[in-house]
Chain A
């Protein structure tokens, strides 16, 4: 493949694919941590819902 004159285009396409998927994964993991942290802070401050069963 490296002998192909267009290998730069192929590699760039796949690096972009990895970058996009990694970006999605990073967004989900950081968002999860952020929401859990905020939830823990609110619960530590004594905030409670009337119904314990549902999350929303």
Chain B
């Protein structure tokens, strides 16, 4: 863990430089990926054009678990090292992770209706991703249930780490149970089963959206640092006012 950015002021200075570059690069890379997805990649021989939903659904699914992974690492930083930015990072990631999980669920449903003939089925993959979304909502509620961010951070960190048990279930659900959802076709033993003409746009979009997610995360962290400064100054102002009043 790099302690050079443990100071929030130093982190904000770094983030202000990095956010436009990381976000801009992410937008360009994602644009190249989407161009490949729509203009270069062929339609699927079975699914036809509907396969193009894959280029938004699959990166959203990867990011939904990646965001949670970052939250879990940040939570370890909160509970073990008490890193000053760890719970800031964890809190800033919750809405972003929830948004990508929501996008994964909705685009999956839009893909499932024409291909499976149903919007939803209670199979292991879909259910475990829905549980992931509900865990995000629960953590968001927990963050807002406490006045003191330090107490909220510890409670949310414990809940995040308990909820992390769902990550391997999401990943391996398609191997452990019989599911309507297809098994892994990119990150699997023996290499990807997707043709290269479809794989490169998929990976390019995923890299682009990952960079955008990181830029959004840094920006949300800056906001959270500012929010805590506002809270601290508000408490100081209220204390000073009360002292002046009693004197």
Contact = CB atoms under 8 A, between A and B. Distances in A.
Interface in B159-206: none
B96 interface: yes
B110 A39 contact: no
A24 B95 contact: yes
Given A24-B95, A27-B95, A55-B225, A35 B230 contact: yes
Contact of B227 (A5, A14, A35): A35
A39 B9 contact: no
A47 B111 contact: no
A35 B226 contact: yes
Interface string A13-56: 11011001101110110011001101100110111110001111
Interface string B27-45: 0000000000010000100
Contact of B49 (A1, A16, A47): A1
Contact of B113 (A9, A32, A48): A9
Given A21-B212, A32-B219, A32-B226, A4 B233 contact: no
B25 interface: no
A45 B229 CA distance: 15
Interface stretch (B70-78, B99-107, B122-130, B136-144): B99-107
Contacts of A39: 226, 229-230, 233
Contacts of B234: 38, 42, 47
Most buried by B among A6, A13, A48: A13
B24 interface: no
Q: Is the interface of A mostly helix, strand, loop or mixed?
A: helix
A45 B103 contact: no
Q: Chain B interface residue count: which class?
A: 35 or more
Contacts of B20: none
B156 interface: no
Contacts of A20: 99-100, 102-103
B99 A13 contact: no
A43 B227 CA distance: 14
A46 B223 CA distance: 22
A7 B48 CA distance: 10
A14 B56 contact: yes
B219 A28 contact: yes
A10 B229 contact: no
Contacts of A32: 219, 222-223, 226
A53 B9 contact: yes
Contacts of A24: 95-96, 99, 216
Given A9-B50, A55-B8, A55-B12, A36 B226 contact: yes
B229 A55 contact: yes
A53 B234 CA distance: 18
Q: What 6 A-B pairs come out closest when comparing CB atoms?
A: A4-B49, A35-B226, A47-B237, A6-B114, A55-B8, A47-B233
